Amino acid sequence: MIIVAGEFRIPEDKRDAFLPAAQKVMAATRQETGCLLYTFAFDLEVAGLVRVFEKWESREALAAHFKTAHMAEWRQALSAIVVSGRSVKAYAADDGEPV
């Protein structure tokens, strides 16, 4: 399994533009083969900080995801919103255990 986790920042005044674009890419991505989880969340203490969390069956599924039309559209939306501080990484993981 591949875990993708990280964060990026959006200007506070761009939240209304961000939400529909994020909802659209989440809905499309969740339909992709190999996508186990794909979500964004706003940090509760830092305004404009968006957390990213994804689970993929394989690196191949993640690589295919980056080539989709909805990801190209998502990149354009983020560019228009002027995202900053992007730090997102992929990690190889097992199925984990309860803690």
Amino acid, res. 38: Y
The domains located in the chain, with CATH, are 2-92 (3.30.70.100)
CA nearest neighbour of 61 among 86, 88, 90:
90
Tokens encoding 20: 């529909």
Yes or no: say if 32 and 46 are a contact pair by the CB < 8 Å rule: no
Q: Would you state the structure tokens that stand for residue 63, as one six-digit string?
A: 């690589």
Residues 31-77 pLDDT 10s: 999 999 999 999 999 999 999 999 999 999 999 999 999 999 999 99
pLDDT value at residue 24: 98
Q: What are phi and psi of 36, to 5 degrees?
A: -100, -30
Per-residue confidence (pLDDT) for residue 70, from 0 to 100? 98
3-state secondary structure of 60: helix
